[in-house]
Amino acid sequence: MKKTLFILAAVALGFSLPVHAKGNYEAGKAKSTTCAACHGADGVSSVPSFPKLAGQQRDYLYHSLKDYKSGKRKNPIMAGQVQTLSDADMLDLALYYSKQKGLYLKY
C-alpha cells in the first residue's frame, strides 16, 4: 500500500514538474505584446541598446525576469515592467521567446 502511494506520488510529480517548467507558448505569445514595444516583434529588437530575445535560452530569460522582479538585476525600465508579472507569466514569456528564430550559439 505504502509502495503504491509512493509510486502514485512519483508519477504525479513526474507529470506536474515538466508542465510547470515549460510554460505555455500561446499564453506567452499573447503576453508578449507589451515587450514588443522595445524588444521588437517576436523578440527581434531593432534598437541596439535593447537586447534581442528571440532564440534566447528559456531558463536564462526566466532567470533574468525573476532577478529584475527581485531587484537583484537592476534596470529602471525592466523593474517597472516585471512588477505585474506572475511566475507563470515569466515562464510563458520565456518559453515563447526561446522558440523564436534569432540568437544562436556562437563559438
Partner 1 sequence: MKTTTMTLCASVLMALAVPVQAAGDPKAGQLKTSMCAGCHGIPGWRTAYPSVYSVPALGGQHADYIVAALKAYKSGERSHPSMKGIAGSLSDQDMEDLAAYYASSYTGPAK
The position carrying cell 506536474 is 16
Q: Which residues, numbered 6-65, are part of the site for partner 1 (CB under 8 A)?
A: 40-42, 44-52, 54-60, 62-63
Of residues 2 and 104, the one with the C-beta less far from partner 1: 104
CB of 43 to partner 1, least distance (A): 9
Give the span between the Cα atoms of 65 and 79, in whole angstroms: 9
Give the span between the Cα atoms of 20 and 88, in whole angstroms: 8
CB of 51 to partner 1, least distance (A): 4
Amino acid (1-letter code) at residue 1 = M
CB of 65 closer than 8 Å to CB of 85: yes
CB of 29 to partner 1, least distance (A): 15
Burial class (CB in 10 A: 0-12, 13-18, 19+), 96: buried
CB of 77 to partner 1, least distance (A): 13
Q: Would you count residue 69 as binding partner 1 (CB under 8 A)?
A: no
Interface residues with partner 1 (CB under 8 A) are: 40-42, 44-52, 54-60, 62-63, 72-74, 101-107
